[in-house]
């Protein structure tokens, strides 16, 4: 069997199932299998209070940061990520403290993507404004970086209503710079990735469309130097290379067709993608053994 990860220089992570029909035991099993096979990271999906009949697998979901803390002591090497943390629904100071704490508990293995979020009803239920969420994401990212770098004052929080001086935030993260990607496909997300993030983290749209998105991102000032680190579905049982995402949009998926998978990965590599986060249960209903089969298409323990 050709191990696709050896063909290319990119890194691979696994978005493990903290949502849908998976149990805590299955969350643990997929995480440990990903680490045993040699994947670079495991990732968790973030939602808090989805509306009924949302048409998504995220109505049943384990809280993201709690799951990250759970995985820290039962894994040893694999990095721990969130794809993507909806920071505009959270207190950014508390989130910064939680992430720094987990980075200490895991000996410096935390990484994350941050996104603005898309489900207006979820924001409304939580009593959180929806339409200025982009500005609050920008301010939250600046605030988190300020706290993590040891700054004792922050005066740029007009939308998140957080300003402070003469405070102590200790301990900070173990890592000198904890990776913070920016999720989303909009131009606002692209600009945010360039100005505030360490990488751009989109879902993979149909490849002709995705190629245009990458061209737009690369054309923006600073975009040519940023990493592109994608989120993409994988299901070894499927004979199709596309599925429908949570918002009804078409997304690319790695399937049981290994030749087609290789072509997709090579195309993404040619577009400059340096990291792929594989979603092993795109619809929240994939059995754990089938998720293992999908992971072994890319990394083999043999």
- Tell me the pLDDT tens digit for each residue of 19-74: 999 999 999 999 999 999 999 999 999 999 999 999 999 999 999 999 999 999 99
Q: What is the mean pLDDT of the chain?
A: 94
Which residue range forms the structural domain that includes residue 163? 4-298
pLDDT in tens, 121-180: 999 999 999 999 999 999 999 999 999 999 988 887 788 888 888 999 999 999 999 999
Q: Please tell me whether the peptide bond between 44 and the residue prior to it is cis, using omega within 30 degrees of 0.
A: no
DSSP string over the chain: ---GGGTSS-EEEEE--SBTT--HHHHHHHHHHHHHHT-SEEEE---S-PPTT-SSTTSSB--HHHHHHHHTTT-SSSEEEES-EEGGGS-HHHHHHHHHHHHHHTTS-B-EEEE----HHHHHHTT--STTHHHHHHHHHHHHHHHHTT-SEE---TTTT--EES----S--SSSS--EEEE-SSHHHHHHHHHT-SEEE-B---HHHHHHHHHHHHHSTTGGGSEEEEEEEE-TT-S-SEEE-TTS-EEEEE-S-HHHHHHHHHHHHHTTEEEEEEES-TTS---HHHHHHHHHHHS---
Question: What confidence score (pLDDT) does residue 302 get?
Answer: 38
Question: What confidence score (pLDDT) does residue 2 get?
Answer: 43
User: What is the C-alpha to C-alpha distance for residues 55 and 155, in angstroms, rounded to an integer?
Assistant: 40
> Is residue 244 scored above 90 in pLDDT?
no
Q: What is the pTM of this model?
A: 0.94
CATH number at 240 reads 3.20.20.30
pLDDT in tens, 183-221: 999 999 999 999 999 999 999 999 999 999 999 999 999
> Is residue 4 scored above 80 in pLDDT?
no
- Residue 248 binned pLDDT confidence (cut-offs 50, 70, 90): confident
User: Rounded mean pLDDT of 251-255?
Assistant: 95
Per DSSP, 6 falls in state G
User: What total number of domains does the chain contain?
Assistant: 1
Of 37, 42, 41, nearest in space to 1 by CA: 37
User: What is the C-alpha to C-alpha distance for residues 186 and 41, in angstroms, rounded to an integer?
Assistant: 25
Q: Which residues contact 153 (CB under 8 A, 6 or more apart)?
A: 164, 165, 166, 167
Question: What confidence score (pLDDT) does residue 246 get?
Answer: 79
Question: What confidence score (pLDDT) does residue 3 get?
Answer: 52
Give Rg (Cα) of the chain. 19
């Amino acid at each position: 069997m050709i191990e696709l990860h050896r063909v290319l220089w990119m890194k691979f992570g696994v978005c493990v199932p903290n949502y849908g029909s998976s149990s805590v035991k299955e969350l643990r099993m997929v995480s440990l299998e990903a680490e045993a096979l040699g994947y670079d990271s495991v990732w968790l999906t973030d939602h808090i209070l989805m509306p009924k009949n949302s048409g998504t697998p995220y109505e049943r979901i384990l809280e993201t940061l709690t799951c990250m803390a759970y995985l820290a002591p039962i894994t040893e090497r694999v990095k721990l990520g969130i794809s993507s943390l909806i920071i505009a629904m959270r207190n950014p100071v508390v989130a910064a403290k939680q992430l720094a704490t987990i980075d200490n508990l895991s000996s410096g293995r935390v990484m994350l993507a941050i996104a603005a979020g898309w489900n207006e009803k979820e924001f409304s239920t939580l009593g959180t404004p929806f339409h200025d969420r982009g500005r609050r994401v920008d301010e939250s990212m600046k605030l988190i970086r300020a706290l993590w770098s040891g700054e004792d004052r922050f005066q740029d929080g007009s939308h998140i209503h957080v300003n402070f001086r003469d405070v102590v935030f200790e301990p900070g993260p173990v890592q000198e710079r904890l990776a913070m990607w920016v999720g989303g496909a909009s131009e606002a997300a692209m600009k945010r990735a360039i100005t505030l993030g360490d990488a751009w983290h989109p879902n993979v749209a149909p490849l002709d469309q995705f190629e245009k998105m990458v061209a737009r991102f690369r054309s923006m000032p600073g975009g040519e130097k940023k990493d592109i680190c994608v989120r993409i579905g994988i299901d070894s049982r499927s004979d199709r290379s596309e599925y429908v995402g949570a918002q009804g949009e078409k997304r690319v998926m790695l399937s049981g067709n290994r030749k087609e998978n290789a072509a997709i990965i090579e195309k993404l590599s040619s577009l400059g993608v340096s990291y792929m986060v594989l979603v092993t249960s795109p619809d929240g209903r994939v059995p754990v053994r089938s998720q293992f089969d999908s992971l072994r298409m890319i990394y083999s323990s043999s």
